[in-house]
Structure 1
Amino acid sequence: MHMRLGGRLQAAIEVLDDIENRKRPASDALKDWGLSHRFAGAGDRAVIGNIVYDALRRKLSLAWRMDSDAARHIAFGVLLSDAELDIEDINVALEGDKFAPEPLEAERLAVWADRDLNSAPDHIRADVPEWCIPHFQAIFGDKWVEEAAALSDRPPVDLRVNTLKADRDKVLKELARAGANPAPLLETAVRVPPLRAMGRHPNVQAEPAFQRGLFEVQDLGSQLAAKLSSAKAGEQVLDYCAGAGGKTLALAAEMGNKGQIHAYDAERARLAPIFDRLKRAGVRNAQAHANIGDLAPLEGQMDMVLVDAPCTGSGTWRRRPDAKWRLSDQQLERREVEQREVLDAAKAYVKPGGRLVYITCSLFAPENGDQVAAFLDANSEYSAVDTQPLWQEAVSKESGLKPLFKDGTTILSPLSTSTDGFFISVLRREK
C-alpha cells in the first residue's frame, strides 16, 4: 500500500516534532519512524525524508514566511516552495485522507503570499543561527548571506571514480539509469544531481559497479581536498584522522597503489568500515591502525601527514541540516581544543621536507585560518605552502567555479565550488 501525500506530510510533521522535542539527529528520528510504521514503502520514506530535511535546511526562512515556527506550518512551507505544488494541488491531495493534517489556515496562506524573503533579517535569509553570523562574515565578508544560504540547498550525490579499477566513462555507462553526469572540476568525479520536488535518489550502493569497487560515494569537496594534498606514487603517508577511510582510498588511487598509506583513527568504531572498503577498492598500499602505539616507528618518517580534523561540520549542513541547529559556541570551543591537540600530535610524524595537510569540513575561521596561524606561530620549523598553484594543477579545464584563496589556503563552498564547505591548508616542515 502507498501512503498518500496527506499521510506523508503528517508523518514528516511528527518526525520534525520528535527531532525538536528530543534534540536528536534527524536520521535517528526517521529510522525510528520507519521501524514503527513498517507498512511505509521506500517511496513513502523518501518523500517523508525530503520534507523533513528541507524543513530543517530552511527552518528559519520558512518559519519567517509563515510567521510561525510550528512544524506543521514549516512542513506546508516545504510543499509550497520545494515540491512544485500550489495550494490547490495540496488541498486536493489532502481531501478525504484520514491520515492528513488539517489544511493550511487561510491567514497563514495570506502571510506566505505576502511576505518577501528579501526583506527578512540577514540570518533568516541565510538560514543560520544568529550566533554564527560573525563566523561567516570573517571568511566571506559582504557575500556571507549568499554563501550561508547556499548551505541550505539540496546537495547532489557525488562519486569518486576508483581509477585503480575503472575510468569515468565506464562508471557513467554503469550508472546511466541513476542519472549520473560528469562532475565539474575533476576528471575522476561523477555527480547525480540534487533531487527535484518529491523525487528520490537512486541507491547507487546497490549497483553491481559499487560492489565491484568501481566507485565510492564521496563529496566532490572531499575529493578535491585529497587531490590538493598532492600524494605521489611511492610516498610514505599517514592519514591521521582516517575515519571510515574515504580520503585513504582517494590517496591510494592517486598514488597508483605505490608507496605506503597508514590509516589511523582514535575511535575504532569509526575506522571499522575501512577494511571492507580497502578490499572492495583493490587497495594494496594501505594498512589501518587502531592503536596509537603502532605509529611509533613512523615518527619523523612521513612524506605527508593528512589531518582531516574533528570539526563542527558547518560545511556539511546541506547533508546534515539538523546539526546546524544543535551546534553551540561551547561545541565550537571544544572542537578548537581537539584540533590543536590533533595537530600537535600529528606533527611528530612529519619528516624534514615533508608536509602536514590540515583539512576541515567547516567554514568557521576559528577552526581554519586561526588554527593554522596559531600552529605556525608555535612551530617555527613549518611554513605555509600556497595552495593556489596546487589547485590550478589539480583541477580540470575551466568550469567557472573558483574557491576562495585566503592567506595561501583554499576554501570550498556550495556557492563557489558547488561542493560541501571545506578548508585546505598545506604546511611544509623545513627542517
Structure 2
Amino acid sequence: MTPAARWAAAIEILDRVAEGQAVEQALTTWGRRARYGGSKDRAAVRDIVFDITRRRRSAAWAGGGETGRALALGALRLDGDDPDQVFTGAQYAPEALSEGERTAGKDITTAPRATRLDLQDWVLGPLDRALGETADAVAEALRHRAPVTLRANLARATRDEVMTALATAGYGVAPVELSATAIRLTDRVRGLQTTAPFEAGLFEMQDAASQAVVDRLGDDLSGLDVLDYCAGGGGKALALAARGARVTAHDADPDRMRDLPVRAARAGVSVAITRAVEGRFDLVLCDAPCSGSGAWRRQPEGKWRLTEARLAELTRIQDDILDTASGLVSEKGRLAYATCSLFRDENEERVAAFLERQDGRWRQSDELRLSPLDGGDGFYLAVLERQR
C-alpha cells in the first residue's frame, strides 16, 4: 500500500467509527477484507486511526467536520503536513480536495480550551480539580502516543540483564526512572513476542506507572499471601509473584484472566486463580475498574465514551469493592486501592469515603499519585491498614 492508500483505509475506518463501531471492531473488519495489506500496512493504518482518535476534537476543528476525510485533513494540518500529498486522487488514494475542503476548518489556536486539549467539555472540571496548574500539560500528553514500556521479570533476571538481552535481539532500550523494573523501547517496538528474551520469560509488557504501584508495595514480598482482587489480565499478579509473594488472582470477569496461566508458566512463577475468594490475605490489591483517564493515550476511545453518569456509576462500584475487599485482609495486613484514573472522584474521595464508613477502624498509611508527566500513565495508589 502507498502512504496515501493507508490514509484512505484510515478514513474508511474512521467513518465506521462515526457510525457507532468501536475502533478495534472497525480495524478488525477492515483487516479481514484488506488481505492485500501487509503487516506493516496494517500497523501504519492502525497508528493513523489511533493518532486521530486521540485528537479527534482538534482534528475536527482543523478539518472542518466529523467525517473520516475531515478528520484526516485536520490531523494532517495539525501536524504541519501537506494534505495534497495524501489527497492526490490517484488509484487507492483519497480523492483530491475540493475548494470547499481547502477553506474548511479553523486555526486550532482559536479553538476553545477543551477542543485544543481534545477533551469533552465536562471533563475539564474533574481534571482541573485533580491536577490544578498541570492539567493542561497532562491533557496535552494524553493527545500523543504513549511510550512502549516493558517490565523486567525479576523471577528470571535483573533489569540490566533483560536490557542486554533485548539489545542483542536488536532493540533500543533505556531504563525508566519511575520504576526499578521498567524498560522503555527507544526505536523499534514490534515483533517482541517472537524474540528469544520473550520466549524465555524475561519481560512482560507493562506501563511504568503500573510497575511503580507494585514497587510501592515492597521490594521483597516473600512469604506473603497476596490477593489481586481485580486482576484483569494479571500483569500486577505476575509482578507480585516475581517478588516472592504467594499470589491468588480473582476478577469479576474470569475470562479476562484466560491467558494468565500461560504467562505465569513462561515467567516461571505460580499464580492461583479463583472465582470465589476464601480466607484472608496479608495484602489485598484492588486495581479497581475506573474511567481509565490516566491511560487515555493508550485507549483514546475511552475519553469520548465516558459520561458523567458512568463516572458516578464507577464510584459506586469502587465503594463496593473497597468494602468487600477490606473483609479479606488479615488482622495485620494491608489493603491497597489503585486506579489508572486522574480524577479525585475515583481516588482520594473514594478512600476518604471508605475511611468515613469505617468510623476509625482503618487508616491510610501510604499514597502515590502519578500522571503522564512522571514517565508513565496516570495512576493512583492508597495503602490502608487497620487501626491498632
Deviation at 1:355, TM superposition (A): 1.0
Equivalence for 1:219: 207
1:150-175 superposed Cα distances (whole Å, 9 cap, x missing partner): 11111111100001111223322332
2:361 pairs with one of 365, 374, 381: 381
8 A contact 1:5–1:94 mirrored in 2: no
Is residue 213–residue 281 contact of structure 1 (8 Å, CA) maintained in 2?
yes
Q: Which residue of 2 aligns with 1:302?
A: 281
Alignment of 1:17-416 (within 5 A): 17-22=15-20, 24-82=21-79, 86-87=81-82, 91-92=84-85, 95=88, 97-105=90-98, 108-109=101-102, 115-117=107-109, 119-176=110-167, 177-193=170-186, 201-230=189-218, 232-255=221-244, 259-284=245-270, 286-289=271-274, 291-292=275-276, 295-296=277-278, 298=279, 301-379=280-358, 380-385=360-365, 387=366, 409-415=367-373
Residues 67 and 96 of structure 1: CA distance in aligned 2, closer, same or farther (over 3 Å): closer
Q: Which amino acid aligns with 1:160?
A: R
Instruction: Work out which of the residue numbers 367, 372, 376 in structure 2 matches 1:419.
Output: 376
The amino acid across from 1:427 in the alignment is L
- Give CA-to-partner distance per residue, 1:27-83, whole Å, 9 cap, x none: 22111110011111111111111111111101111222233333212212333444x
- CA, structure 1 residues 50+324, in 2 after alignment: closer, same or farther (shift >3 Å)? same
Q: CA RMSD in A?
A: 2.0
TM-score (norm 1): 0.84
Code of the residue aligned with 1:360 in structure 2: it is: T
Q: Distance in 2 between matches of 1:116 and 1:15?
A: 24
Deviation sequence 1:134-165 (CA, Å, 0-9, x none): 11011012332222221111111110000111
Deviation at 1:18, TM superposition (A): 0.6
What secondary structure is seen at the aligned counterpart in 2 of 1:351? Answer: strand
C-alpha distance in 1 between matches for 2:263 and 2:66:
42
1:92 Cα deviation (Å)?
Answer: 4.5
* Kept after mapping to 2: 8 A contact 1:73/1:104: no
- Tell me, in whole angstroms, the C-alpha distance in 2 between the residues paired with 1:204 and 1:184: 22
CA distance in 2, matches of 1:109, 1:421: 38
Unaligned 5+ runs, structure 2 = none
Return the letter of the residue paired with 2:61.
Answer: W
Give the conservation status (yes or no) of the 8 Å contact 1:243–1:271: yes
Structure 2 Cα separation of the partners of residues 331 and 63 of structure 1: 25
| CA drift at 1:276 | 0.6
- SS of the residue corresponding to residue 47 of structure 1 reads helix
